[in-house]
Amino acid sequence: MSRASDQAYATIRAHLLSGAVKAGEQLTEDQLAQITGVSRTPVREAVRRLEDELVLVRSDTKRLFVADWSRDDIEEMFTLRQMLECHAAERAAKRLTREQIAALEQVNRDLTAAVEQSPPDVVRFLDANRAFHEVIIEAADSPRLGQLLTRLVEAPVVLRTARTYSQSDLRQSARDHDELVAAFAARDPDWARAVMGSHLRRAFHTFAKAVGPRSDGAASDKDGGDA
C-alpha cells in the first residue's frame, strides 16, 4: 500500500476507535477524505483494509457503515477467538524468544500508562493491546492461524468492549497481560492457554453486561435500516 493509504488507514482507524462516530453510523468516502486530508483513492484502499478487519461494513446497496454487531454476533466472535487465540498462546509459549518477551513487557508498560491517564486513553490502550496480541500471534508461527485471528482480534470485538471498560476493567486487562508474560517466560503452554482463556472470557462478560441479554431469534439488520 502507498504511504498516503497507510496514513489514511491510521487516521480513519483512530477516528473510529476514539468514539467520534457511533456504531451503525453511515460514512462516505468524501467525509473520510476530509478527515484524512488525502484524496479518495488512498481512502478507498484504507476503507477496503478496514472492511477486511470488520471495522467498517457495506450494506447490500454498497453504503458504508461503522460496524454495529449484535450481542449474539460478538458472542460467536469471542467463542471463535478464544478457540484460536488460546491455541496461539499455547504455541507461542514454546516459541517466544527473549526479545519477543521483552517486547511484550514494553508494550504492556505502554498499555498500562494509557490506562492510568485520566481519563484513560482508550485509543492508545487499543493500539497497545493490538500490538501485544500481534506479538503472540507472530510467535505462534502459524500463518493460517494468523490470518484467521486478524479479523477477530481487532474491532468489532475490541472496539465495542474497550468503550464499555471502566478504568478498573482496563487495569485488569493489563494484569492479565502481565500474567501471560509470566507464563511465556516460564515456557508453560498450559498456563498460557488458561490465562488467555480467562482474559477473553472476562472481556466478553464486560461486553455482555454493557449490552444486556441476548435477543433470542432476533435478526440484526446489517443494512443500516432506513439510514
Q: Are residues 22 and 59 in the same domain?
A: yes
Q: Are residues 101 and 115 in the same domain?
A: yes
pLDDT of amino acid 226 = 38
Q: What is the extent of the structural domain holding 18?
A: 3-66
d(CA 161, CA 77): 12
Strand 26-27 relative to strand 56-58, pairing: unpaired
Residue 222 lies in a domain: no
Q: What CATH number does residue 58 fall under?
A: 1.10.10.10
pLDDT tens-digit series, residues 93-152: 999 999 999 999 999 999 999 999 998 888 888 889 889 999 999 999 998 888 788 766
Q: What CATH number does residue 102 fall under?
A: 1.20.120.530
Closest alpha carbon to 52 in 182, 179, 149: 149
Q: Are residues 127 and 33 in the same domain?
A: no
Helix (H) or strand (E) holding 65: strand 64-66
Q: In what order do the strands lie in the sheet with 26-27?
A: 26-27, 64-66, 56-58
pLDDT tens-digit series, residues 54-88: 789 999 999 999 887 777 877 888 898 899 999 99
Q: Are residues 207 and 127 in the same domain?
A: yes
DSSP state of 54: T
d(CA 138, CA 127): 16
